[in-house]
């Protein structure tokens, strides 16, 4: 067994850098030895050198073809995910890919068939599963501590909206933002979604509406065992990154509140003041990025299944497409409708 798993990263944008940094500082048993980005420039090269990554290239195929790279982290734009996954699988490289694989379900299924046939390890990047708070709620569910689950609630609100240009190519709020929450509902309830009902509005930025999307949405979901779930998203919460979950069951309730810089509250005659939520996802979830890559590395070294695999890459996209259809048609949409399209 090699001393360390040798990783190549494709994509030197924000999330690629997050993973490179977390592997360097938080992940045992792995090292990044090369990074590729079609837009590779002097700034990127300098950043890579600062991370101890000596090999850089503008051609992702160099990562795929390299004999001394064991596993690939795909952190490039969504339209590149499917072809890169296929290319890596066909040469026997284990794969971690950021969500989603694609916005087209047929292409996703075709890509996942290639992964299955290749036998390589595959993990999709739903990092919130690896947040210590959410893992504790999941344990409360799976151990029966709160009994049969009746209702799951997820609130997810970003501190500021993306640009309309980004919105236009993002796939929409359900595929870009709420997809994490669809995965959370599955993860926390330990059940599959069977029906979706979505409503949405443009309340934050009219330009988002002009780009063909909504910036505020509420989705209700029916699960396979009858559990109900509700998700609310907003592209702008002026007080910070609002991330809360609740699982209510026959024996009790498990809640996750917002992380804050401190738990201190100051009470005076003028009122009670506390900290605002942490500002954005890098503040809230940085540890979880390290934990998800550690799990990926462990699954390769120990030859165990990844904790967020092929089905977890497919199901949230089905839910997101059902939500998109529901919003457009003003009705409840079943997952069977989407899966059979």
Euclidean distance between CA atoms 93 and 99, whole angstroms: 18
Confidence check: pLDDT of 257 > 50: yes
**pLDDT score at 282:** 67
pLDDT at 98 over 90: yes
Q: Which domains does the chain have, with CATH numbers?
A: 5-120 (3.40.50.720), 129-281+316-339 (3.30.360.10)
State how beta strands 94-98 and 122-125 pair.
parallel
Q: For position 270, what pLDDT does the model report?
A: 87
Pick from 10-24, 182-196, 250-264: least confident: 250-264
Q: What percent of the chain has pLDDT over 70?
A: 98
pLDDT tens per residue, range 176-226 = 999 999 999 999 999 999 999 999 999 999 999 999 999 999 999 999 999
Reduced to 3 states (helix: H, G, I; strand: E, B; else coil), residue 277 is strand
Alpha carbon distances (Å) from 337 to 106, 187, 252, 323: 14, 22, 34, 12
Please tell me the predicted confidence (pLDDT) of residue 267: 81
Please say if the pLDDT value at position 312 is more than 70.
Answer: yes
Q: What Rg value do the Cα atoms of the chain yield, rounded?
A: 20
Q: Alpha-carbon distance 105 to 97, whole Å? A: 16
Work out whether the CA dihedral 206, 210, 211, 213 comes out positive or negative: positive
Residue scoring higher pLDDT (260 or 90): 90
Residue 232 pLDDT > 60, yes or no? yes
127 burial via Cβ count (<10 Å: 0-12, 13-18, 19+): buried
At 1 the pLDDT is 47
DSSP bridge pairs for 332:
none
């Amino acid at each position: 067994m090699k001393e360390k798993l040798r990783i190549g990263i494709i994509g030197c944008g924000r999330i690629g850098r997050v993973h490179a940094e977390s592997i360097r500082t938080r992940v045992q048993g792995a090292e990044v030895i090369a990074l590729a980005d079609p837009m590779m420039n002097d700034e990127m090269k300098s950043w890579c050198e600062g991370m101890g990554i000596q090999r850089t290239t503008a051609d992702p195929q160099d990562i795929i073809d390299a004999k001394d790279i064991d596993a690939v982290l795909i952190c490039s734009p969504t339209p590149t995910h499917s072809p890169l996954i296929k290319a890596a699988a066909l040469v026997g490289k284990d794969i971690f890919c950021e969500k989603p694989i694609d916005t087209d379900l047929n292409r996703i299924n075709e890509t996942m068939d290639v992964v299955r046939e290749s036998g390589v390890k595959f993990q999709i990047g739903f990092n919130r599963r690896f947040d210590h708070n959410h893992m504790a709620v999941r344990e409360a569910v799976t151990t029966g501590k709160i009994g049969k689950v009746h209702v799951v609630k997820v609130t997810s609100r970003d501190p500021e909206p993306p640009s309309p240009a980004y919105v236009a190519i993002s796939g929409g709020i359900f595929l870009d933002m709420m997809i994490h929450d669809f995965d959370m509902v599955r993860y926390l309830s330990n059940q599959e979604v069977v029906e979706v009902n979505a409503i949405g509005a443009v309340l934050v930025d009219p330009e988002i509406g002009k780009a063909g999307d909504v910036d505020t949405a509420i989705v209700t979901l029916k699960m396979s065992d009858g559990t109900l779930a509700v998700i609310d998203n907003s592209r702008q919460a002026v007080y910070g990154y609002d991330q809360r979950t609740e699982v209510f069951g026959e024996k009790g309730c498990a809640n996750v509140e917002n992380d804050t810089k401190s738990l201190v509250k100051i009470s005076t005659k003028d009122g009670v003041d506390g900290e605002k939520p942490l500002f954005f996802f890098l503040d809230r979830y940085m540890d979880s990025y390290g934990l998800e890559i550690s799990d990926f590395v462990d699954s390769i070294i120990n030859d165990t299944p990844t904790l967020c695999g092929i089905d977890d890459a497919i199901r949230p996209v089905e839910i997101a497409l059902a939500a998109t259809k529901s919003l457009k048609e003003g009705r409840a949409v079943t997952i069977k409708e989407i899966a059979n399209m």
